[in-house]
Amino acid sequence: MVRLHLALTLLLASSSCNVEAFHHHNPLSLSSSSSSLSKITQHRPEEQNERSSPFGSQPVAAAYASTKRRTVMARPVSASASSPSSEFGEINNSNNNLNSLTNAAVDFVAGLDEPDVDAANIARRQELLQNRKDQKTYKVTLPLLASSNSVLQSSVLLKLGISICQISKGRKVETDLQLNLDTLELENTGVSRQSNDASKEDEDDGLNLASIQRRIDGEFQGLVVTAVEKGTAGWVAGVRPGDILKTTSATIGSQLWPKSTLEGVKSALLSRKAVSESVQFEFQRLGEIVDNQFELTLTRPIGLQMKETEDGYVEVTGFTEKASNLVRYAVKVGDRVLAVDSSLGERMWPVSTVEGVISAVTSRLPGQQITFRFERNETNISASSNVKAAVEATPTQETADNTAVTSYVKTDTDLLQRCREVIKRYTTDQKYVNKFSLPGVVADKVVNALASASARVDPYTLSMIQTAYLSCRQPEKAIRLFEEAIGLRADGANGELLIADSNQKDESDPFVGNGGEGWFPI
């Protein structure tokens, strides 16, 4: 530090000497340089005195802090064709550096009217993330009657009709008792361990333990609705078994306080009854019981290509050359990365940016395991269902053995799935859409591959290919694809349908496969 201080002192002293010597031989240069600097800063007259010295770092820093605007990199200005000699005169290299430093100090502070694009994007993204969270929660205001008013409590509509249980980390039910929010007494829970068969549940009356464990995360700690009586205020308001109780009203006022224990809820309702006739709850509605989330443990390199979506998700867009067979088989284009495990401990940290995923991956050594939590969106889930239905409906020869049939069905399934992934990538990613009709070119390749394999096209894949053609203004190909895949003329006429012959040698026609037997109608 002492050496650095001495070096800076010598540098400032030498620069000052050069300035004095220069202006001794060129008395007009100082005024011309000052005039130029005055022209540059004339839009800020209150800062002219502060910027008159090239080493006025404190005023410049203060002005920069007050603007709170995005800054640009300083651009060194040298005496060249872009800097007229009549204004700056003929100066040596040391004065070149001095003028560069002066102009850089002026350029360093952004204009007051410059929009802060980064701040706007961050604010918009935070708003979208908050909206996504709010969509999963809802608030209800329910009647709250005194315990002594037994006449009114006998009315079903005035009862809360809600029972809750407490669950700790690891999906463990704390007690075999549940809290009745009407009587505020503990009762035998409706989620006893008598049955773990989720198929026997009756969601109108309650949930069994297995069903609740499937709905919540392993890190969850809090309160879950176990039963809602039909016809009560809670039922009419939309509260259902399996919902998570997040907050309740404070004793006085409209503020909501988080709750995570049965004793906390009981205490809050007892104190609220003394001052108010209603209470507000905030619940979180979990999704339907669909196995659309899965965890996958991988090692570096991961081999995934990702992008950020508008609603705050990290979506898989493709695979790199280093992607393993496990990644290509388990992960599909369009899957979302929800969380990545911590490098210290077993906790899963949610991610909403690509930078967050990269940071989690790069913090591990090559070969070290990383666990990802993925979510398969509804499009991929429905696509898998359509493929399964189409494959099951595929006719096979009665004389074919089981091995041949299994191989045929698996090949068709994999081919259709791959075709859908390719079509989706080039029709949804903005860097490919409307650029040189690329989706149409990709659709041609997909059609050629399906025709070559004599594959039966399912309705979902057919719709995606037609959409790709229409997005590139190629309706004739979309119509032809419909006719050959369905086996009917698009105009509804009874005339003969012309289908491409695979024996033709027209390589420019994508509907002619390479040695295939032609299209199979759906």
Distances (CA, A) of 209 to 215, 225, 244: 10, 12, 14
For residue 374, what is the DSSP state?
E
List, for residues 350-369, the tens digit of each pLDDT value: 888 888 888 888 888 777 78
At residue 129's C-alpha, the angle toward residues 125 and 132, to 5°, is 140
Are 319 and 327 spatial neighbours (Cβ–Cβ below 8 Å)?
yes
Per-residue confidence (pLDDT) for residue 137, from 0 to 100: 79
For residue 458, what is the DSSP state?
P
Are 54 and 98 spatial neighbours (Cβ–Cβ below 8 Å)?
yes
Best CA proximity match to 244, nearest among 130, 136, 134: 136
Are 510 and 476 spatial neighbours (Cβ–Cβ below 8 Å)?
no
Q: Which helix (H) or strand (E) holds 139?
A: strand 137-143
Tokens of 389: 């239905």
List, for residues 174-185, the tens digit of each pLDDT value: 667 889 998 898
Per-residue confidence (pLDDT) for residue 268, from 0 to 100: 92
Of all residues in the chain, the percent with pLDDT exceeding 90 is 7
Per-residue confidence (pLDDT) for residue 131, from 0 to 100: 57
Give the relative orientation of helices 402-428 and 378-392 as an angle to the nearest 10 degrees: 150
Give the relative orientation of helices 459-471 and 475-486 as an angle to the nearest 10 degrees: 160
List, for residues 290-331, the tens digit of each pLDDT value: 457 788 888 888 889 999 887 778 999 999 888 888 888 888
The confidence band for 211, taking pLDDT boundaries of 50, 70 and 90, is low
Tokens of 105: 């100090």
Per-residue confidence (pLDDT) for residue 316, from 0 to 100: 92
The β-bridge relationship of strands 256-258 and 244-249 is antiparallel
pLDDT tops 60 at residue 488: yes
Per-residue confidence (pLDDT) for residue 470, from 0 to 100: 82
The confidence band for 466, taking pLDDT boundaries of 50, 70 and 90, is confident
Span of 45-49, 152-156, 318-322 with lowest mean pLDDT: 45-49
Reported for 182-190, long-range contacts at CB under 8 A and 24+ positions apart, including other chains, are 182/153, 183/147, 184/147, 184/266, 184/269, 184/270, 186/262, 187/163, 189/163, 189/165, 189/226, 190/163, 190/226, 190/227
Span of 262-266, 361-365, 415-419, 494-498 with lowest mean pLDDT: 494-498
Span of 99-113, 217-231, 275-289 with lowest mean pLDDT: 99-113
Whole-angstrom distance, CA of residue 421 vs CA of residue 333: 6
Whole-angstrom distance, CA of residue 40 vs CA of residue 35: 9
Residues 6+ positions from 44 with CB-CB distance below 8 Å: none
The confidence band for 14, taking pLDDT boundaries of 50, 70 and 90, is low
pLDDT tops 90 at residue 265: yes
Are 22 and 91 spatial neighbours (Cβ–Cβ below 8 Å)?
yes
pLDDT tops 70 at residue 389: no
Radius of gyration, CA atoms only, the chain: 35
Which residues is 348 bridged to in the sheet? 341
CB environment 59-96: b (16+ within 10 A), e (fewer): ebeebeeeeeeeeeeeeebebeeeeeeeebeebeeebb
Per-residue confidence (pLDDT) for residue 495, from 0 to 100: 61
Best CA proximity match to 264, nearest among 240, 281, 248: 248
Per-residue confidence (pLDDT) for residue 13, from 0 to 100: 56
pLDDT higher for 66 or 285?
285
Residue 18: phi and psi, rounded to 5, are -65, -35
Whole-angstrom distance, CA of residue 446 vs CA of residue 441: 9
Whole-angstrom distance, CA of residue 194 vs CA of residue 140: 32
Are 332 and 375 spatial neighbours (Cβ–Cβ below 8 Å)?
no
Cis ω on the peptide bond leading into residue 459 (within 30° of 0)? no
Give the relative orientation of helices 402-428 and 438-452 as an angle to the nearest 10 degrees: 170
Of all residues in the chain, the percent with pLDDT exceeding 70 is 48
Span of 115-119, 183-187, 443-447, 473-477 with lowest mean pLDDT: 115-119
For 395, other C-beta atoms within 10 Å of its C-beta total: 7
Mean pLDDT of the chain: 67
pLDDT tops 50 at residue 405: no
Whole-angstrom distance, CA of residue 248 vs CA of residue 259: 7
